Each structure stands twice: as C-alpha cells, then as structure tokens.
Amino acid sequence: MNIITQLQQTFGFESFKKGQQETITKILAGKSACAIFPTGSGKSLCYQLPALQLPGITLVVSPLLSLMKDQLDFLLKHNVSAARLDSSLEREQYNQVLEKAKQNELKILMISVERFKNERFRSQLQRMQISLLVVDEAHCISEWGHNFRPDYLKLPLYKQEFNISQTLLLTATATKQVIVDMQEKFSIQTEDVVITGFYRNNLFLQMSPTPVQQRKLSLLKRIQEDAKAPTIVYVTLQKTAQWVSDYLKDNGINSHHFHAGMKTEEKELIQNQFMQGSIPCIVATIAFGMGIDKSNVRRVIHYDLPKSIENYSQEIGRSGRDGQTALCEIMANNDSLNIQENFVYGDTPEKVAIKQLLEQIKITQEPFWEIKMVSLSNETNIRVLPLKTLLVYLEMDGIIKPQYTYFEEYSFKNLQDTQAIINRFQGERKAFISALFANCTVKQKFTYVDIQSILKNYQTDRNRIIVALEYFEEKGLLELQAKQAVERFSIVNKDFDIEVLADEMFEKFSQKESVEIKRIHNMLDFFAADKCLSKQLANYFGEDLDFDKCGHCSHCINGQADFSSPNNLQSIDEYDFQQLTGEFVEQIADKYSHSNLCKYLCGIATPIFRKYKIRQLPNFAKLEQYPYAEVLQWIEGS
C-alpha cells in the first residue's frame, strides 16, 4: 500500500500537512531523520504511518504519561496495533504487552526513557525486533535546550546496544544550536532534517502584564467573555493552580486544577474531561498539555511567566490547531520573576555536596560503584535531576561509566506449587531451578529471592536467574515483583584530585545556572520589546519572515507592553535576622550553610529539608518575593 492510500484508508486524512510526506519518505527509504514542526502540526504521523510499513516494532520514547496516552488513544481509534508500558498498568496488562511485542504483534510500543534502565525490560527488549527508534521531545537530549534531561543523553547508546538501525527525532522547539547538537548525537545528515517553520497566523499574541493583586479578576473577566471556550491557564506553582481554579469555580466558571502532584488516575480523568469538553477550563502547571491533541483550544493564558521562550512557544502552540483564531495572552509581569529564578537556584548543588559524592567514588574498594538515586540524593542534598546531570558530567569526564541498573530485591507469589515448577524440567535445568528455589526466603505473602546466595551455591550468572523468573511469570506459574533499583557504574579513573574536580563540576553547574537565569530574563525582554511579537518568535527559532508587522499581536495593535511592576516590598534590612533564621539554624544543626538558609527563606525545597522537616517551620518561603542573590548577600553580611 502506498503512503497516500495508507494515509487516507487508515488515518482518514485526505492529504499530508507540510513536512510530513518528506519526513515519512526519508524513514521508508531507510534513513534516520529529524522533524522540527510547530506544536500541533502533525509530528506524530511521521512515525505512525511508517510504523505500519516497517517490518518490526516502532519504539517511541515519550517524556510524559499524558503524551503517551493521547497518542495511543488516537492509534487504537484507527485500529493500529499499539501499546504503552508504564507504571499505571496492572501486572497482567504489562505482561500481555511484552508478550505481544516479542511476538511482533505490535506495530508501535511507547515507553519512557527511564524504562531502558529497567533490568526486566532490557532482557525482554533483546527478544524484540525493533525497526525504528522515535524520540519525542528530542530537544531534551541537548544541554543547550530548555528542558535538558540527562537520561536522554544515553539514547544513542541504547540505539547501538539494541541494534536499532534508524532514528526519528521529533520536536517543536529547537534553536539552531540544539538542532546541531541533536544531529551530532544521532549521526543525522543535514539534508535529513525537515523544518517547516514556526509562524502561525491564526494565533493572536497578547501581552497584558497585570499586577498580581488584580490578576485574578482580570483572568475571570477574560474567561467570562466566553465561559465555554476551551481554555488552558498556565501557572508556576501547584498551590496556585488549586486556588486560582477554586476562585474561578466560586465565580461560576466550570474549571479544574491540574498538576504533577495529583494521582495518575485523577489526572487522566481530568484530561479526558477536558478533551471531551465537559470541563472547558483547566488551570495547570506545565505538567498539563504535552501531547494534548485538542484542536479547538481557543485560549492559552499565562497567569505566571513561562519558564522560557521555548516553553512559551510550546504552550501557546496547543491553541488554535483547527486553524481558527485563538488568543495567547500573558497576564504575568515581572513580580513573579523571582519564583522562576528560584527553581533554577534550587538545582545548583553546593560544592561540599559534590565533594561528598566524589569522596564516595574515591574510597570505593571495588572497581564499580553502586547507588540508589533517591538515597544518594538525600545523602548529598542534591536534587535528583541535577544529581543525574552530575553523574553524566562525570561520565563525560571519564571518571565513571554506567553499566546497568538492576533491582536489589526480587520477590514472588506462587501461583503453582514450587515442586511442580521444578518437576517441569530435566537434567541440569532442573538442578538450576532447584538451586534457585532453595535459595529463597518465604515470608508472609511473598517469597524473596536471594540472588547472591544462588550465585554462591550454583555455577550460573545473574541474567539467567532473571530470565528464569521472567519465564515463570510469563507462564503464569508465579507473580513477580522487583524493587529497590540500583544503578551500577564502573569506575574508570580514580586518579583525580577531589578539590580540583569538585571546583570544575561546581563551575559547570554555575555556568548552567547563569544560562538558565539569562534565559528567564531574555524571555521577559522578548515580551517587553518594541517589536512585532510574531516576527520575534519566528526569528528566535531561525525563521526569517518577510514582514515587519503581523497585524495579529498586541504590539502591532497597541504598541509596546510594560512588564515592570511597582516594588512595594519593605527593605530586606528591616527584617530581624535572628527571628527569621533561629528555628532553622537550630533544626538543621550541623547541615547548616548559607546556601541552605537562603533556600529556606526563598522557599526552595532541597532533599535534606524533608529529613529535618524544614518546610514545616513558620518562616519557610518568608522572603520568596526577594531576589535570591539579594537574600544570600543579606545572610552573608548578617
């Protein structure tokens, strides 16, 4: 079947959108490619259609559960054999998906990037025929991108390890620097990068900077203009999503909040209700929207500032996908700038924490180093995401090399008698299975597998044990569970000076911090500039438009917007230092540092704050409206 016929018969589209056919043709010709289309321009079809014609499975790496769900719903609606693997699946569902994949009965399998580190999944993946690796939101692989995810850096290695011959990278937001970075990491030729442009003439870009005291009322009035129009209101903090939504509800708006802290089932329910139109207004953090394919979103309103120009472009791109006019309005001004900056400062580890981690590597007696990510985060007081980034930096410096992730604890619930399972086998295999079960500890509900004891008492390897357990579960002989993920790194080089290397690593984080802070200020300058907003936005992503005024942005209609806000804060020097900090200093004891105190006063959570219950102290976030650098200077001078 040719691709035009496939497009019409399977997906019900009469013709391709710009860039789709070119990308699909490259994939079907055996090439790797990169598709950079604006949000809502049909990137997903660039893998969905080829998947039906490729011999094996198309493996799609997606960053969010909501993105997977929305794309999967579309595929199943069009009778495409597709599935996802994520933590929301029941054990039986999970096993059914794996079995279908191994039997080559699936055309598309969706996973998160973290799934590659799962020991059980990796053993299953070796038994699948993968034709194409698709990386959605591919800008996450670049340190120069706005949403760098360290685990994405390992995707080229996974592609090689599992012998996947082709890659398709998809993103809506990539600057020239990020595009080059993506190409190099996946060896994609320049002629195989398809860029369709970023300008959309149906979006009205409105800048309405409003003081925080008036913002709720302004938002309400805007939504009341058409209370049933599908609307997404973006905020920065989870608590803001809750109380803004409650305010709208109290004033007769059918609204609901949405954020990452909610249960998966609740988030899926709200997303479905928004898609179906029963809830027209969602007040959400950036956890909502990625992959949402709702064509008639009429308004995207930023109650707080976006994180960056890239985030802004991605978020407004969720409106007006039906080609009809949509409003994209910024209500925030610079009074919420500090909150955005504080997210950045919270991700910069202290030098003493980096030294602590390096000391662990240095004193390890084995040629390998094993960690539990959350435990190490708590030990060192480095948030999980920057901790992963630090490990990648050390890998790039030749200090460590990731080997694999395994589960420290395997346990099972018998669905058939143990001896009956053993009796299914003969000879050496029977001896091996007998040794496996002999080295298990039976507890109340589950039997715990002592892998080290098996290895000590029987000549075998760890992989054979895991494969056997997986096989027993596949055959319905037992119910298997795995816990306590441990990441193993080989130590490549111990010949480093802890002080010097800690300085180098800290400098990298400091530079990254500076880049991110500058990104926030560049965004504010962008909104406040005396230029056409549509033209500016296109230029930022490397597209040169042949006009000076678009006629559908607030600058073209009303002129330059003023994002400055009056500073009504009292001088920070008027606060009583001892009164604000005394309880914190006493509670945190020997873990005190100027940096920790500054984060406490600015409301920036760190791993150690959980242990010492710091967020429960009365002055947590007391100075969150003040610039971080100003608070730190005040602390150092007090």
Alpha carbon distance 72, 67 (integer Å): 9
* Other residues' Cβ atoms within 10 Å of the Cβ of residue 93: 13
Alpha carbon distance 229, 241 (integer Å): 19
Indicate the range of 34-43, 121-130, 549-558, 582-591 predicted with least confidence: 34-43
> What is the fold of 203-341+529-558?
Rossmann fold (3.40.50)
Over range 422-430, report the average pLDDT: 94
Q: Is the pLDDT of residue 291 over 60?
A: no
Residue 73: what pLDDT?
86
- For 70-102, the three-class secondary structure string (H helix, E strand, C coil) is HHHHHHHHCCCCEEECCCCCCHHHHHHHHHHHH
Q: What percent of the chain has pLDDT over 70?
A: 98
Domains 3-195 and 203-341+529-558 share a fold: yes
Q: Is the pLDDT of residue 605 over 80?
A: yes
Residue 294: what pLDDT?
86
Residue 290: what pLDDT?
63
Give the pair of three-digit tokens for residue 136. Answer: 């959605």
Nearest C-alpha neighbor of 354 from the set 490, 507, 494 = 507
Over range 431-443, report the average pLDDT: 94
Q: For residues 252-269, b (16+ Cβ closer than 10 Å) or e, as one string? A: ebebbbbbeebeeeebee
- Whether the CB-CB separation of 234 and 284 falls below 8 Å is answered with yes
CATH class of 406-489: alpha beta
Nearest C-alpha neighbor of 98 from the set 114, 113, 115 = 115
**What is the band of 338 on the pLDDT scale with cuts at 50, 70, 90?**
confident
The domains of the chain are located at 3-195, 203-341+529-558, 346-399+496-514, 406-489, 572-636
Superfamily of domain 3-195: P-loop containing nucleotide triphosphate hydrolases (3.40.50.300)
**What is the band of 66 on the pLDDT scale with cuts at 50, 70, 90?**
low
Nearest C-alpha neighbor of 313 from the set 42, 528, 541, 148 = 541
Residue 145: what pLDDT?
67
* Burial group, residue 180, by CB count within 10 angstroms (0-12, 13-18, 19+): middle
**What is the band of 65 on the pLDDT scale with cuts at 50, 70, 90?**
low
Alpha carbon distance 145, 149 (integer Å): 9
Q: Measure Cα distances from 330 to 14, 85, 310, 563 in Å.
A: 36, 37, 15, 10
Nearest C-alpha neighbor of 199 from the set 94, 316, 283 = 316
Backbone angles phi, psi at 162, to 5 degrees: -100, 15
- Whether the CB-CB separation of 585 and 361 falls below 8 Å is answered with no
Q: Mean pLDDT score of the chain, rounded to an integer? A: 91
Q: Is the pLDDT of residue 249 over 80?
A: yes
